[in-house]
Amino acid sequence: MKNHIYSVIALFLMSNSIFGQDPNWSVNQNNYQYTMTFVGFLNSDGIGLVSPNDKVAAFVNGECRGITNVIYVASEKRHYAYLTVFSNVNNETISFKIYDSGKNAVKSINKTIPFKTNEQYGDLFQAYAFASPALQSGAQMLDVSFKDIISNNVVIEGSQITVYLNKGQDITALNANFVISSGASVYLGNAKQISGANALNYTNPVVFTVLSEDQTTVKQWTVVVKTVTASYYKKEAVCYEGGAIKVLFPVEKEEVVLSIEGVILSTRTVNNGEVIFNNLNEGNYKVSVDGNFKEIKINLKKSL
């Protein structure tokens, strides 16, 4: 029985040595003249800390200079840590530790910041990350598609993403699926968007905001939706040179068919957004692409 009791005690002591105890951090605010503040959030091993017993503390050379618990802000439906840091001089190196009450564990934050009087870091939208390990800073929008709708093509140019849909597709209530940087979030204004469940009108371009996982990076992305249509151009034939028809179409590898009086003359695929039919005699041609067609007349133009 004694051996069992000793084993339990030993296990308890080992557990405390691994996880630590609720830290007795404290700071005497009257000892300091200046402050800087943070609006932040706590994250341990990729999981947000939301218990009122979770804490973050600031230190200078091991001396506690500020401490606060996590609180819930109903207007934002999020948990924040409002931390005030104290000092008597600027440029002291501030380090941080977080306390995960669920695991009864203290973790050091792998970043520091110099003390600056009256500086504030973070706000309710872009909070300061007290995270161990560090979170990712990417804010890319890598792809956009729409739930239950087949996209003909997606073109990304800079921060604009153009999605081509079939002609006639209703674009007034589309549910966008976003592929974004790991851990990032998508917002429309201040409203967070749920991928695949957003029902937005794309009659006009829609500007989204992507916020990185660590909330240090914010980038705007414009999504433009176009229903696919082709553009047609022609060059008349002359006595020494045939005419030409050029088709511009945004979907790569789409087949374009040239026919005359029901007879197919040529079938080509879109390459770099276009197809060109050369050496055409005068006549009435029909060009078909993506189920649509255009009748184009090539005339014979006499040379001067």
The domain that contains 155 carries what CATH number? 2.60.40.2340
Report d(CA 153, CA 165) in Å as an integer.
Answer: 7
- Looking at the DSSP assignment, which residues form a beta bridge with residue 114? 93
The pLDDT of residue 230 is 86
Same domain, 7 and 117: yes
Could you tell me which of 204, 164, 54, 44 has the C-alpha nearest to residue 110? 44
The pLDDT of residue 168 is 84
Around Cβ 186, how many Cβ atoms within 10 Å? 21
Same domain, 235 and 223: no
The pLDDT of residue 301 is 84
Q: Inform me whether the pLDDT recorded for 157 exceeds 70.
A: yes
Same domain, 83 and 70: yes
- 89: exposed, middle or buried (C-beta count within 10 Å: 0-12, 13-18, 19+)? exposed
Same domain, 170 and 109: no
Same domain, 124 and 146: no
pLDDT band at 22 (very low <50, low <70, confident <90, very high): confident
Q: Inform me whether the pLDDT recorded for 67 exceeds 80.
A: yes
pTM: 0.72
Task: Among 94, 109, 132, give the residue marking a domain's end.
Answer: 132
Same domain, 270 and 218: no
Same domain, 91 and 75: yes
Instruction: Give phi and psi for 175, each to the nearest 5.
Output: -100, 105
- 33: exposed, middle or buried (C-beta count within 10 Å: 0-12, 13-18, 19+)? exposed
Task: Among 227, 251, 278, give the residue marking a domain's end.
Answer: 227
Extract the tokens encoding 133: 């390990």
Extract the tokens encoding 60: 């200078």
The pLDDT of residue 3 is 45
For residue 119, give Cα distances in angstroms to 15, 74, 125, 148: 39, 25, 17, 48
Say which amino acid occupies 31.
N
The pLDDT of residue 260 is 95
Report d(CA 162, CA 205) in Å as an integer.
Answer: 9
- 68: exposed, middle or buried (C-beta count within 10 Å: 0-12, 13-18, 19+)? buried
Place of tokens 């840590």: 81
Same domain, 260 and 183: no
Could you tell me which of 293, 275, 292, 273 has the C-alpha nearest to residue 284? 293
The pLDDT of residue 16 is 37
**Could you tell me which residue, 154 or 194, shows the higher pLDDT?**
194
Mean pLDDT of the chain: 91
* Segments forming the whole domain that contains residue 292: 231-301
Same domain, 88 and 179: no
Same domain, 36 and 107: yes
Say which amino acid occupies 85.
V
Q: Inform me whether the pLDDT recorded for 65 exceeds 90.
A: yes
pLDDT single digits (tens) 75-86: 999 999 999 999
Same domain, 43 and 158: no
The pLDDT of residue 68 is 98
Percent of the chain with pLDDT over 70: 92
Task: Among 195, 227, 259, give the residue marking a domain's end.
Answer: 227
For 22-26, 196-200, 249-253, 277-281, which range has the lowest pLDDT when averaged over its residues? 249-253
The pLDDT of residue 32 is 98
The pLDDT of residue 291 is 72
- Over residues 227-251, the mean pLDDT reads 90
Q: Inform me whether the pLDDT recorded for 212 exceeds 70.
A: yes
Report d(CA 63, CA 256) in Å as an integer.
Answer: 73
The pLDDT of residue 303 is 58
Q: Based on the structure, what is the number of domains in the chain?
A: 3
pLDDT single digits (tens) 93-117: 999 999 999 999 999 999 999 999 9
pLDDT single digits (tens) 169-195: 999 999 999 999 999 999 999 999 999
Same domain, 96 and 16: yes
Report d(CA 140, CA 186) in Å as an integer.
Answer: 10
The pLDDT of residue 276 is 97
Percent of the chain with pLDDT over 90: 80
Q: Inform me whether the pLDDT recorded for 9 exceeds 50.
A: no
Q: Inform me whether the pLDDT recorded for 6 exceeds 70.
A: no
Around Cβ 303, how many Cβ atoms within 10 Å? 7
Say which amino acid occupies 246.
K
Residue 9 zone, left/alpha/beta (φ > 0; ψ -120 to 50; rest): alpha
156, 218 Cβ separation under 8 angstroms: no
Report d(CA 188, CA 186) in Å as an integer.
Answer: 7
Which CATH number do you get for residue 259?
Answer: 2.60.40.10
